[in-house]
Structure 1
């Protein structure tokens, strides 16, 4: 599996960035992945990209499964290993992934980048900062960020 890491501090816009990439990919299907405290996992089909928030999603684009972890693993209190193994157990093995990650993972036993190496190859890693504008989504910086990540994703799933 190839993957992209989107690093940033809390409230840097990681989730919004990944969700906007998802919108621009125009997925054929979207499923939100839910994890229970008891370790169970289930999927809920979403019917619109407007329903995206931070969390874990499996989307289908060009008949390829893409795992989106728009809520950083530390925020979800789940290791990336747990997330990936759970998704694989659902027979939804991702062909590609876009993973949000805090710049500094302070929680004990969290090492997202290192854990990901066991599952595939990082093809791009970016560090993002909050765009200081209430209309951030109209800025050139935002458009460049999203367009570049979308292009890399499309190029690597064909």
Structure 2
């Protein structure tokens, strides 16, 4: 992927900094938003379109999924401090640790990205406001809010 990767709907193919396993106590359940929101170039899947391999409850090619999918993890599954109400299909916001900034004109760097998957009014929910505040307080990474309106830097990180 090059630095001029197209951003559509505030999402693009990204790889996380860490491939540590997600919290085993948290399940995606019926949430498959990552299969819709993210662009996956290896599958010619644009952002905002449900992946053709989605079964409705998971990935139909899970053992052979592209590396981008295998390495991407939802932060709701990784950070126990994020309450159950922030599971992406419940909150409308999907959090990830990306190795690239969400805009082509910003420098590539590790960052926290919160993507509004339906409506940027989901950013106004109290639990979502607190999640962004938690990421800002931690301070290690730039924090971005991404929606159909664009990508906005909330905190520049250290």
TM over 0.5: no
Greater share of residues in helix: 1
TM-score by length of 1: 0.29
Where relative contact order (Cα < 8 A, 6+ residues apart) is larger, the structure is 1
Greater share of residues in strand: 1
